[in-house]
Structure 1
């Protein structure tokens, strides 16, 4: 249960923060966000805000999404012959359209649809009570709503509030905002982690931090804040010098020179043996020295995020030089990592969330159709050409990217299942 809750929180926060980036900048650009959903699947609650966005809470607590006018495949198809009902204003303009069988509008007029244009002319024509002798054409209000078959009520999407009507720079920023939010979240999470753990590890010194009780280091007489001068007769100047010698000496006696209490002394430590993924390594139970300054804690958010960028780009480069599904991970991998993090405490969970957040941001910026990066590339092509691509061609490119991602996700997920459960 702890693993499931951790997975839901981690995955949910990452996706919602990502989608909120798109939501916020779409609003600033004048693009109508028809729906902002927390969760997926069947709707539990819905509320239409004064801003025209319907906020929904859905059954499956994994992620969320935004529906921007003119950008997503519309769930509501008003085809000729569709039975519906309309609610009118005092001046006979349509203010609500109901195509759902789950909801009844008491003061509405039942129609069999002949045609509707809710994008340009904002008109709707239908036969009253299905009587083909009584066709009526109504003007539709700009901010009218439609109740979809699922029962969710959303605004209609006139041309002027659609995604493509925004300026090219605004569209690029809206597409970039999701990954940008993930990067900002990563910085914030590392800052929080620095405060929770009481400081920032300083790897550029030979001074150590805390020593675990009953550890090999404690039994050898090493105390917190001691300086490690030499190990295996090699001079130590930073954390990497120290740990590299210890890691390769499991179960072996390691001579050291330390300085503590203003005095130098020689000791011998025997690292305990730790096995991970079939590899044995040594540990002596010490932590890196912590910098506790306020500026250090805030700077940690930026430096660690930068380090993550470097590591991820190196990993992406490795995919091109030697592709393997084992280098990728999907929801199963995330669940496995959540399980391990949940068992190790809040700091590990925060670290995992930061790692996944920056990954989500970078991967979404890859120039693959259906990803934010692919959409930005199409925006840039439009800016250079001075006109957008043909909608049919753009749709085909996006669909090809979507199919590629779905096939890859299926392969990655199956590979993860094989790795972790068989």
Structure 2
């Protein structure tokens, strides 16, 4: 596969997984009537920015996630104080724009000193205009303009905190949930691409060839029927005998008899010594995975098998979390965005089928990880909402914000460490 295509597919995987997660937050926030100020993919400086309706859609420099910025969750509204001189533009008896600076440059506006203003509940402003107090209604979607930046006001009923616990919890949970949905759909696509094993298979095929291993440098192809290895006939159900023989043949040529397009071919492959991930012992490997003849999967089979795949992947993910909590890992075992992108690129080079399966795993992992009770993640926010539901009143928002800030800082610190580790690994040529 051409390198440009591999890079494109790698970027596409991350873009789709993050976008579907943030879209879940966005969609259910909008359904609850919350003003969504920004839908962002990535963090840091903006690369692209476009505004549609009330929301600004941005693509940012650091591709390590995304966010949906809702009204009431950030302090971006500029306060207007009594005694401050502002200018307002009035359309159909309502203020549609409030100008806080460069007042002399504004045309078709009313200028005056603020006597009273309420941008959340009464939506009104009273100005001293040439010694006369004038009161104006403010449009619920009015814009505040200062320093060249437009910010839509957020009446109290458009703010995140004004919604019920259920509405807020749904808007938060929807992000991880959409990752679960995407993972299920991708697994279903993977099953449709690969099919299901036929009943009572009578032959063994080459199902996978690992890049960088001896098989990848040989004439062996995915889909080849394996008849024998070193004269030992391949029998369905007895593949472990061949695996054992290869494991004991490091550095020694092995002879493979395969069938391709109806013709018999003989291929020589020499296993190399590799550390087995399960036994941690050094054994011979050539980088081949076995498979069996398949048939198309029915819709029912696809749904059922997708559920089983999701269950197995979930168990594997939590096994990884368990090792992390118990300290059963080395720093080199941890990988950040750089390593994930590297592995994704390697899998993309193997074809769309493998990449679909990997994308499903990444989407499921992102959904599960975000539900962990770690400050700044969706799981922690759901816990705070649960406490609020039990107490009957919210916790101190300043304390909650502090907890999330500390959690975010810790996650970013870990991200820096693992990314540094990833970069060192790349320079050392390790995989």
Q: Please confirm whether the aligned pair reaches a TM-score higher than 0.5, indicating the same fold.
A: yes
Q: Tell me, in whole angstroms, the C-alpha distance in 2 between the residues paired with 1:404 and 1:287.
A: 43
**What does the per-residue CA deviation read over 1:153-194, in whole Å, with 9 as the maximum and x for residues that have no partner?**
54x222122222222222222211111111111111222233
Q: Tell me, in whole angstroms, the C-alpha distance in 2 between the residues paired with 1:110 and 1:249.
A: 88
C-alpha deviation, 1:116, in angstroms: 4.3
**What residue in structure 1 maps to residue 119 of structure 2?**
118
* Structure 1 residues 96-245: aligned runs within 5 Å: 96-98=97-99, 106-110=107-111, 116-124=117-125, 137-147=135-145, 149=147, 151=149, 154=152, 156-196=153-193, 198-200=194-196, 207-210=203-206, 237=237, 243=243
Secondary structure of the residue aligned to 2:92 is coil
Matched, 1:302 2:299: no
Secondary structure of the residue aligned to 1:294 is coil
C-alpha deviation, 1:137, in angstroms: 4.7
- Seen in structure 2, the aligned counterparts of structure 1 residues 15 and 383 have a Cα distance that, compared at 3 Å, is same
Q: Tell me, in whole angstroms, the C-alpha distance in 1 between the residues paired with 2:208 and 2:234.
A: 24
Q: What TM-score, normalized by structure 2, do the two folds share? A: 0.75
RMSD: 4.4
Q: Tell me, in whole angstroms, the C-alpha distance in 2 between the residues paired with 1:106 and 1:77.
A: 22
Secondary structure of the residue aligned to 1:344 is coil
Q: Specify every segment of 5 or more residues in structure 2 that has no aligned partner in the other structure, as ranges.
A: 259-265, 277-281
**What residue in structure 1 maps to residue 323 of structure 2?**
318
**What does the per-residue CA deviation read over 1:92-149, in whole Å, with 9 as the maximum and x for residues that have no partner?**
x222335587xx8753345666764322232345666xx8x67755332223334565
* Structure 1 residues 20-419: aligned runs within 5 Å: 20-38=23-41, 41-42=45-46, 44-49=48-53, 53-58=54-59, 60=61, 62=63, 64-70=66-72, 72-80=73-81, 85-91=87-93, 93-98=94-99, 106-110=107-111, 116-124=117-125, 137-147=135-145, 149=147, 151=149, 154=152, 156-196=153-193, 198-200=194-196, 207-210=203-206, 237=237, 243=243, 246-247=246-247, 249-251=249-251, 272-274=270-272, 281-283=284-286, 287-295=290-298, 296-322=301-327, 324-419=330-425
Q: Specify every segment of 5 or more residues in structure 1 that has no aligned partner in the other structure, as ranges.
A: 259-267
C-alpha deviation, 1:8, in angstroms: 2.7
Matched, 1:13 2:19: no
**What residue in structure 1 maps to residue 262 of structure 2?**
none
- Seen in structure 2, the aligned counterparts of structure 1 residues 206 and 330 have a Cα distance that, compared at 3 Å, is farther
Q: Tell me, in whole angstroms, the C-alpha distance in 2 between the residues paired with 1:203 and 1:249.
A: 33
Q: What TM-score, normalized by structure 1, do the two folds share? A: 0.77
Q: Tell me, in whole angstroms, the C-alpha distance in 1 between the residues paired with 2:267 and 2:135.
A: 89
C-alpha deviation, 1:46, in angstroms: 2.6
- Seen in structure 2, the aligned counterparts of structure 1 residues 177 and 113 have a Cα distance that, compared at 3 Å, is same
Q: Tell me, in whole angstroms, the C-alpha distance in 2 between the residues paired with 1:211 and 1:332.
A: 28
